[in-house]
Chain A
Amino acid sequence: MAKQRGLGAAAFGAIPLILVGALIAGILLIFGPAQQAGACGPGASVDPTQIPKDAVAGYSGDQLTNAAYIMNAATALNLDRVAQIIGVMTAMGESSLRVVDHGDTAGPDSRGLFQQRDNGAWGSLADRMDPTISATNFFKALERVDGWEALHPTIAAHRVQGNADPYHYEKFYAPAATVVGTLAGTGVTVCQSGYLVFPLNPGYQMTSNYGPRGYVTEGASLWHAGDDLQHYPNPCHDPVFAITDGTVTLLAGYQLSIKSPDGYTVSYLHMYLGEVLVKVGDQVTAGQQVGATGSNGPSTGCHLHFAISVAGNTNPAIADLPRSESIGGPAGFVDPELFYEAFGLTLCAPDGCRRTY
């Protein structure tokens, strides 16, 4: 009895330490370009016989069992959660998580979850058709990719697979993160994909959202084509990060615009130009600091207003989002929160953002 209580007390003291420590580590690791790799924590082992009965992100049954085998192959090599997601993402893009027993036009000899070729690099036909062995060989090849943790997940997968399109796996990242989080029993973690990050460090307030304003402030337009974010009570000089890769196309007045390789443009407003760290023509990467919050232009306090213009967009997932003009707003914008959802992320999640409007 006493022994039990003693253990209980020790555990009681240790748990908050672990949780808060993990929270701090998570917050420090998740954000910022060099800090994103490994942000999702350790890999989890999964019992392949205990698979959810319901579909997860559109995958079910044997597909989820195969995802479990892939996750366990990563864990056996001491690889982390990001590696597990990369493995599941790659198999989604190659085989829809099915042990495919035939090839395709690009590779008639491709087989299995990872569509591994009969070129000696991936073992025997039986090896390539075995979920655990093929996944293990995939992860061993991934580990040989120089600096794979710092690459976008789709580029890391491409270095192993040699696909004609390095970005082929990008759209499978969000469902892979959902499947891995669900099978691990931890739910979907705040794992940023590398292609898309949040514009401020976590713990921000959203002071105004997208759409017709729910209140009327004197001087403010009735329709707000972006989201306002800040860190209260110190909203000024706060690092602003590029949310996607792209090229700086405009830096003038109180606006910085970065056009993504998919064609849409993210604009960051109210920074003082002296605090902007990039210039027109610069290529920036997601998570790179581009400036700091200010109150430049028609604004009464430091905050970041950011807006997403879809003119020139070629990404079907973004093209499917409702356009601002269809709901009474100015032409050409989409809701940043829906934009994040299209990539499997939540801009204003309860653990990193608070709405104050």
Chain B
Amino acid sequence: MRTGHAGTRAIVRKIATTIILAIATFTTLTGCVNQGDAPSPSPSSTLPTGLVSTAPTAPVDTGEVTAAPEAAGDSQQKAIAAATKVMQTFAQPQLSAEKWWAQLLPLLSQQGGVAYEGTDPSQIPVHQVTGAGTVVPDRTEVSLIVQLLTDAGLYNITLTRPDASAPWLADRIRAAQG
């Protein structure tokens, strides 16, 4: 008898919990979507994961993707000069970490600064730039990649800038892979 009551209570509790949580799940999932205009569909229309069981009509979509405009020749020349300076500064494994960082940091973008902090320059395998830089296709006025040949092989220097009047800054300095 006692056991039976306990079992019934447990089942009722379980059902109640599940319903509350189903509502909570649905509210959580849709809360950030509705932004004000909040219709309140029945929780029973949700799958366990919160996905709605009825299908949307696929929107007709004929959009075409356009490429960003190409950087002017002058911008590309400046990018090659900037990348070369970045590489010459980066490729100084003989420097102390403090000196190396003081020289490199002003040439880095914000994300570059976060990434290269804590680098031990003595581990850098590059000593010098050995060839002229080339700009990788899909070069834009605000982001492009310069390839440079060094004594440790080909490197990609990703450059970024907020607009065409700002100096190019380095985001990544990486040996070309593959």
B-side contacts of A76, CB under 8 Å: none
Minimum CB–CB distance from A295 to chain B (whole Å) comes to 7
A-side contacts of B47, CB under 8 Å: 354
Whether B127 is near chain A, meaning CB under 8 Å from some CB there, is: no
Minimum CB–CB distance from A221 to chain B (whole Å) comes to 5
- Of A22-30, A52-60, A80-88, A177-185, the segment with at least 4 beta carbons within 8 Å of chain B is A22-30
Known: A203-B50, A246-B143, A247-B142. A301 touches B59 (CB 8 A): yes
Minimum CB–CB distance from A77 to chain B (whole Å) comes to 21
Cβ-defined contact, B33 with A270, below 8 A:
no
Tell me which residues from 3 to 54 in chain B have a Cβ below 8 Å from any Cβ of chain A. Answer: 3, 6-7, 10-11, 13-14, 17-18, 21-22, 24-25, 28-30, 32-35, 37, 39, 41, 47, 49-52, 54
Cβ-defined contact, A261 with B14, below 8 A:
no
Cβ-defined contact, A231 with B119, below 8 A:
no
In the complex, the number of residue pairs spanning A and B with C-beta atoms less than 8 Å apart equals 253
Q: Residues of A within 8 Å of B, CB-based: how many?
A: 102
Bound Cα distance A307, B63 (Å): 11
Nearest-CB residue, chain A, relative to B175: A165
Cβ-defined contact, A269 with B63, below 8 A:
yes
B-side contacts of A12, CB under 8 Å: 10, 14
Bound Cα distance A187, B124 (Å): 37
B-side contacts of A27, CB under 8 Å: 28-29, 50
Nearest-CB residue, chain B, relative to A24: B28
B-side contacts of A248, CB under 8 Å: 142
Whether A126 is near chain B, meaning CB under 8 Å from some CB there, is: no
B-side contacts of A45, CB under 8 Å: none
B-side contacts of A257, CB under 8 Å: 65-66, 68
Known: A167-B174, A250-B68. A312 touches B7 (CB 8 A): no
Bound Cα distance A12, B111 (Å): 48
Tell me which residues from 325 to 357 in chain A have a Cβ below 8 Å from any Cβ of chain B. Answer: 330, 333, 350-354, 356-357
- 5 cross-chain pairs, A with B, having the tightest CB-CB distances, nearest first: A312-B138, A316-B178, A9-B10, A162-B120, A301-B59
7 pairs, A vs B, C-beta closer than 8 Å: A2-B3, A5-B3, A5-B7, A10-B10, A203-B50, A232-B55, A314-B136
Extra 17 A-B pairs, beta carbons < 8 Å, given A230-B59, A249-B141 = A9-B11, A13-B13, A24-B25, A27-B28, A163-B123, A164-B120, A167-B174, A201-B33, A208-B58, A247-B160, A257-B68, A259-B138, A261-B171, A262-B158, A298-B60, A298-B61, A357-B58
